[in-house]
Structure 1
Amino acid sequence: MRQFTAVVNPAAGSAAGTAALLPVARLLREAGAGLETRYSRSLDHARELARQAAARGHAVLAVGGDGMAGAVGGALSGTDAALGLVPSGRGNDFARALGLPTDPQALAAVLLRGTPRAVDTLRVDSAVHAGVAVLGSVYAGVDAVANRYANRSRLLRGSASYYMGGARAVAGWRPATYRVTVDGTAYERRGYTVVAANSGFYGFGRRVAPDARVDDGLLDVVVIRHAPKRLFFTMMNELRTGAHLRRPQVEVLRGEEIRIEADRDLPYGADGEVDAALPVTVRVLPGALRVLS
């Protein structure tokens, strides 16, 4: 029987995280599994707790949203430890890409009996991040600005915070000139954002890279080039289904190592967290993480 350590999001730990964990924890314990719960003080502390649990041979549950999944999963990248997800954040996009159930009983069954699946992770290198591993995507541009607004929102939750954050970011946006280097080949593009995607989803279920796969050893690099802001709002809605890929303003490149630079200071986000600025280099680490799914 598996032994688990649940690491709970420092922001959502006292409310949403605990509420999501409780029914799953009850089912795990009723089945005979051991479960310890640890509340982290920060994402760095969450990484430390995850490494400690893995060293004891435990499967580690990341309880929270994409930032928490990325922090805990990144800490376990390159190890033999198994990661389980108990989604309770704003977006939960990596859990969505894995097709994880939201029903507690079905999720508990996955955690108890699921076979660990090897998935890719992303190594991120910049002035702030040196060799940090994340799971879903790295994005640089108007979406990072929107994500920052959403994270700071105290009145709105879920998709509403992303929508209002996006509207505010686009309203104040001016096109950036990007230099995107994919496996040594450089491309110069002017536009709204560049997304290096391991997972097909970001921004609360938006299918930014519908063909991305978490286990193919490649990154899908989605470039949204310059367009009138009115058209960009239309493309934001099309992200829900992936229809934006039919637009001539959208380009998809693929590769193993991506470097993103811009002609001015721009933030980039990684797994829902925005705390750094370009330039950034992203490299795929094939099959580096074992996830219960």
Structure 2
Amino acid sequence: MRQFTAVVNPTAGGSSGAAGLLPLARLLREAGAGLDTVYSKSLEHAQELALAAGARGHVVLAVGGDGMAGRIGGALSGTDTVLGLVPAGRGNDFARALGLPTEAPALARVLLEGTPRAVDTIEVESAVHDRVHVLGSVYAGVDAVANRHANASRLLRGAASYYAGGLRAVLAWRPAAYRITVDGVPYERSGYTVVAANSGFYGFGRNIAPGALLDDGLLDVVIIGEAPKRHFFATMNELKTGAHLDRPQVEVVRGEEIRIEADRPVPYGADGEVEAALPVTVRVRQGALKVLA
């Protein structure tokens, strides 16, 4: 029977991250599994707790949102420790990409009986972040600004915080001149954002990269080029269905190593938490993480 350590973000989703763990914990213990629960003081502390649990041979449960999943999964990247996700944040986009259930009984079955699956991770390297590893995507442009506004929102939660943050970011955005180098091939583009996606989902369920696979050893690089702002809003509305890929200002290329630069210090983000400014280099690490799904 598996032994688990749940690393909890106490403030996930703007409330107690532990609340979502309680019914799941009861089901795991009733099935005979061992479960320790520890609370993180920060994302860095969560990484330390996860590595310590992994050293004891435990399956590590990341209880929180995409930031928690990304940081813990990144810390465990390249190790033999198995990761399980307990979605308790606002976006939960990596859990969505894995197809994880949200109901406690179904999620408990995955954690108790699921076979560990090897998925890719993303290595992020910049002047600020020396080889941080994340799971979902790295995005450089207006979406990074929008995510910053959403994280700072005290009045709005969930999708509302992302929509409001996006509106505020787009209205103030001016196109950036990007230089994107994909496996040595340069692309010069002007526009709104560049997203290097391992998972197709970001920003609370927006399917920015419908063709992205978690285990193909490639990152899908989605470039949203310059267009009138009304067209950009229409593009954002189409992310649920993937129809945005039909727009002429949207381009997708794939590669293993991507360098993103711009004519100004454009902000970038990763998994909702890692924040800095361009330039940044990202690399896929194929099959580097074992996750229950």
1-structure distance, mates of 2:97, 2:236: 19
Q: Compared with structure 1, are the counterparts of its residues 168 and 274 closer, same or farther at alpha carbon in structure 2 (3 Å cutoff)? A: farther
1-structure distance, mates of 2:230, 2:149: 20
1:29-178 paired onto structure 2 within 5 Å: 29-178=29-178
C-alpha contact 2:47 2:72 (8 A) present in aligned 1: yes
Partner of 1:236: 236
Question: 1:186-208: per-residue Cα shift (whole Å, max 9, x none)?
Answer: 11100000000000000000000
Q: Residue type matched to 1:42 in 2?
A: S
Please give the secondary structure, in 1, of the residue aligned with 2:26.
helix
Q: Does 1:204 align with 2:204?
A: yes
Partner of 1:287: 287
Structure 1 stretches of at least 4 aligned residues deviating more than 2 Å after TM superposition: 10-16
1:57 Cα deviation (Å)? 0.2
C-alpha contact 1:10 1:42 (8 A) present in aligned 2: no
Partner of 2:256: 256
Count of aligned positions: 293
Gaps of 5+ in 1: none
Q: Residue type matched to 1:234 in 2?
A: A
1:275 Cα deviation (Å)? 2.2
Q: Residue type matched to 2:42 in 1?
A: S
Identity %: 78
Q: Residue type matched to 1:247 in 2?
A: R
1-structure distance, mates of 2:164, 2:84: 31
Question: 1:78-105: per-residue Cα shift (whole Å, max 9, x none)?
Answer: 0111000000101000000000001100
1-structure distance, mates of 2:252, 2:235: 15
2-structure distance, mates of 1:174, 1:267: 13
Gaps of 5+ in 2: none
Please give the secondary structure, in 2, of the residue aligned with 1:170.
helix
2-structure distance, mates of 1:256, 1:82: 24
Partner of 2:189: 189
Please give the secondary structure, in 1, of the residue aligned with 2:268.
strand
Q: Residue type matched to 1:179 in 2?
A: R
Q: Residue type matched to 2:131 in 1?
A: G
Please give the secondary structure, in 2, of the residue aligned with 1:139.
strand
C-alpha contact 1:147 1:274 (8 A) present in aligned 2: no
C-alpha contact 2:137 2:202 (8 A) present in aligned 1: yes
C-alpha contact 1:148 1:274 (8 A) present in aligned 2: no
2-structure distance, mates of 1:51, 1:156: 34
1-structure distance, mates of 2:223, 2:273: 20
Please give the secondary structure, in 2, of the residue aligned with 1:24.
helix
2-structure distance, mates of 1:124, 1:31: 39
1:15 Cα deviation (Å)? 3.3
C-alpha contact 2:13 2:88 (8 A) present in aligned 1: no
1:109 Cα deviation (Å)? 0.5
C-alpha contact 1:267 1:275 (8 A) present in aligned 2: yes
1:23 Cα deviation (Å)? 0.6
1:241 Cα deviation (Å)? 1.1
C-alpha contact 1:267 1:277 (8 A) present in aligned 2: yes
Question: 1:4-35: per-residue Cα shift (whole Å, max 9, x none)?
Answer: 00001153299341111111111000001110
Please give the secondary structure, in 2, of the residue aligned with 1:286.
strand
